[in-house]
Structure 1
């Protein structure tokens, strides 16, 4: 039980770093008048790259070399998260009239939950035997 909480805490700390990367890049890109959706895709992608590297080694303590399945599943989880956050960003900003930066913070918070569940459930799993997944 403690190991699961520790995993969540580590994921949250990595998320803080990812969020800082994401928000800083987003702010810089929008400051230079890049379209907010293009800025979202670029800034989110930078956070995703950091997330993969840090979560693989530190949070989920994967010792073996990463597989193509793991990497592409990770990208898939993050693409789904990106689609959801991009949609919500547009809803909050364009439809509800919430400021762009507050909208960005709201969707970032939502993305944490989606991403943790997807990453823990589908990406960084440990195999007992070929094809069998177990939880710690």
Structure 2
């Protein structure tokens, strides 16, 4: 048990990022599935809404539980938020483009395409959060 605790302490940020990254990805996929498959909203609209929901969820969990940053002023907090959203919107555009290519060009099913895009998105989001947003 001590070995596991030491390993967690050593790699806590990465482990927490993976756990909350999985949770964020689940939020993204579930919102997309509900809007696209259950309700029948066009898949690109459903994808955009899912991206927004997951960005808000991810900002909160990354700030509070993964990178544990404390911002002493509103200005500093707002800076973190707009940087986070800005980088996530860039990965969101990649997500949208990937969905369009996979669904409309390559004829993948919408849910399969959504899951496939998430692997690259998670890596891009970790790098931007770690090195540009939550540096403190």
Indicate whether the TM-score tops 0.5.
Answer: yes
Contiguous gaps of at least 5 residues in structure 1: 127-136
Q: Corresponding residue for 2:42?
A: 35
Of the three residues 50, 70, 80, the one matched with 2:90 is: 80
Per-residue deviation at 1:80? 0.1
Q: Corresponding residue for 1:96?
A: 106
Deviation digits for residues 31-84 of structure 1 (CA, Å, limit 9, x no counterpart): 211111110111111111111111101100113345221110001011001000
Bigger helix share: 2
Write the distance in 1 (CA, Å) between the matches of 2:52 and 2:21: 13
Write the distance in 2 (CA, Å) between the matches of 1:25 and 1:54: 17
Per-residue deviation at 1:5? 3.2
Which portions of structure 1, spanning 4 or more consecutive aligned residues, are displaced by more than 4 angstroms? none
Indicate the RMSD between aligned Cα atoms, in angstroms. Answer: 1.6
Give the TM-score, by structure 2 length.
0.85
CA distance change for structure 1 residues 69 and 4 in 2, over 3 Å: closer, same or farther? farther
Q: Corresponding residue for 1:132?
A: none
Write the distance in 2 (CA, Å) between the matches of 1:39 and 1:8: 30
SS of 2:40 mapped into structure 1: coil
Write the distance in 2 (CA, Å) between the matches of 1:72 and 1:116: 16
Q: Corresponding residue for 2:58?
A: 51
Segment drifting more, 22-31 vs 80-89: 22-31
Write the distance in 2 (CA, Å) between the matches of 1:16 and 1:92: 22
